[in-house]
């Protein structure tokens, strides 16, 4: 019994070392499957135990890549589980393309590995919309922890065996042959944005219409799954859909998602019952509302803007639809915002992601209805280095 306890302690110490050395936090993964996969690397490298394997990682940094590939197991395919994709194509895509929905469509493919799933999504929408409309309206964010797999996806080169699951007519339409391999169409490839993302620690991509996360949750403990699903809830628009893998179930006890088709693991986001109030201007807790707010002739806006321009800090205001409605003089000077930017979606402006990712933080403030503060954010306007504090607020009225 003592040997088992000691082995488990050494295993936890190895996970702590991996997190500190490379920033990969596997503590939320199910222990049995995680330990089994790491043990496979110990056998391959003929390490007698976790301490020896840790020393090997310190001496041979390339072993990290082999270890992560073993843990993450990049198993993916085009249109994997065709019956589920057929339902998505016939039932969900038409809803996403209904008249009256948002002009742009945002899709997030998590745990995308080498990109087959992301390009399956691209083909599905391109078939429904036509290539030109697809390029104009759709953005697909394909994320994973594995940089090596992401690079494969960015180049979009696949072997004949890998594209076997793609119907011949789609293979002919969306791929070109090169040196015996198949390459996804360059013009459509630009709509798929590959990036490294940790579902446990990184903020979710926001304002997503369709979130595809197939056979990713299954590697995490129930507690970690709940945290990830909370991020998915924040990520999706109120009329968005979640598409999971066939072996996965929603373990959360919260009423975040409703099954559209349980067999095919398609869910709809359940919006909050209460209507969230639109944000009103707030400066250090003081509401800028008064008799002028009733004038209705624009004078209140002039008073408000003039007052904000005298505030000695940068200040911007985003409404519930995600549009920039106010940017005071300091904000315009510091972050390069112009008057023409007022009224534009915040997600289209550089300030939404630099010096810090704000979109998910703003959404979190809406959802949780309290201040969301980021401290010690470094900013280099004009080559200077400084530190600022960013705060997202909910409406207090």
Could you tell me the two tokens for 172?
């002919």
In this structure, of 177-186, 222-231, 258-267, 338-347, the range with the lowest mean pLDDT score is 338-347
CATH topology of domain 82-269: Rossmann fold (3.40.50)
Q: How far, in Å, are 139, 202, 254, 368 from residue 210 at the CA level?
A: 11, 19, 20, 22
Helix (H) / strand (E) element for 210: namely: strand 208-213
| Model-wide pTM > 0.85 | no
Q: How far, in Å, are 18, 64, 187, 276 from residue 48 at the CA level?
A: 18, 18, 51, 58
Task: Tell me which range, 15-19, 181-185, 226-230, 284-288, is most confidently predicted by mean pLDDT.
Answer: 181-185
Phi-psi region of 347 (alpha: psi -120 to 50; beta: other; left: phi over 0): alpha
Half-sphere exposure of residue 59, counting CA atoms within 13 Å on the CB side?
7
Task: Tell me which range, 206-215, 277-286, 364-373, is most confidently predicted by mean pLDDT.
Answer: 206-215
How far is it between the farthest Cα atoms of the chain? 79
Rounded distance, CA 365 to CA 363, Å?
5
Mean pLDDT of 240-252: 80
State the chain's mean pLDDT as an integer.
Answer: 79
Query: Check: CATH 3.30.450.20 for 282-392?
Result: yes
**Beta carbons of 160 and 180 less than 8 angstroms apart:** yes
Task: Give the residue from 331, 333, 375, 342 showing the smallest Cα distance to 356.
Answer: 375
The pLDDT of residue 339 is 66
Tokens 């003929």 sit on residue: 46
CATH topology of domain 2-72: Chemotaxis Receptor Methyltransferase Cher; domain 1 (1.10.155)
DSSP string, 4-57: HHHHHHHHHHHHHHHHHHH----TTB-HHHHHHHHHHHHHHTT-SSHHHHHHHH
pLDDT at 393 over 80: no
The pLDDT of residue 290 is 34
Domain parsing of the chain, residue ranges: 2-72, 82-269, 282-392
């Amino acid at each position: 019994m003592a040997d088992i306890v000691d082995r488990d302690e050494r295993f936890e110490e190895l996970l702590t070392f991996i997190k500190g050395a490379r920033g990969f936090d596997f503590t939320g993964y199910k222990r049995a499957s995680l330990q089994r996969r790491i043990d496979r690397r110990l056998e391959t490298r003929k390490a007698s135990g976790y301490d020896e394997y840790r020393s090997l990682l310190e001496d041979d940094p390339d072993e990290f890549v082999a270890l992560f590939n073993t843990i993450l197991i990049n198993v993916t395919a085009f249109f994997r589980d065709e019956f589920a994709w057929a339902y998505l194509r016939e039932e969900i895509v038409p809803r996403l393309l209904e008249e009256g929905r948002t002009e742009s469509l945002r899709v997030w493919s998590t745990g995308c590995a080498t990109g087959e799933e992301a390009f399956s999504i691209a083909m599905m929408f391109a078939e429904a919309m036509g290539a030109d409309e697809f390029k104009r309206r759709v953005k697909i964010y394909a994320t994973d922890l594995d940089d090596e797999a992401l690079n494969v996806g960015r180049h979009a080169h696949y072997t004949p065996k890998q594209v076997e699951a793609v119907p011949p007519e789609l293979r002919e339409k969306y791929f070109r042959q090169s040196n015996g391999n198949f390459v996804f169409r360059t013009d459509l490839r630009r709509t798929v944005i590959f990036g490294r993302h940790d579902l446990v620690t990184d903020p979710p991509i926001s304002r997503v219409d369709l979130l595809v996360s197939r056979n990713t949750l299954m590697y995490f403990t129930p507690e970690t799954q709940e945290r990830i699903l909370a991020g998915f809830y924040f990520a999706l628009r109120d009329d968005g859909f979640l598409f999971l893998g066939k072996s996965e179930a929603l373990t959360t006890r919260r009423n975040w998602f409703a099954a559209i088709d349980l067999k095919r693991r398609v869910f709809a986001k359940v919006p909050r019952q209460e209507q969230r109030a639109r944000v009103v201007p707030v400066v250090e807790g003081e509401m800028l509302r008064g008799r002028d707010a009733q004038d209705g002739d624009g004078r209140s806006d002039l008073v408000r803007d003039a007052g904000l321009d005298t505030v000695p800090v940068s200040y911007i205001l985003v409404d519930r639809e995600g549009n920039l409605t106010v940017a005071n003089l300091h904000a315009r000077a510091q972050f390069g915002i112009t008057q023409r930017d007022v009224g534009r979606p915040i997600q289209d402006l550089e300030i939404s992601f630099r010096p810090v990712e704000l979109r998910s933080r703003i959404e979190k403030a809406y959802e949780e209805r309290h201040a969301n503060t980021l401290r010690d954010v470094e900013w280099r306007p004009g080559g200077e280095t400084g530190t600022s504090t960013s705060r997202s607020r909910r409406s207090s009225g």
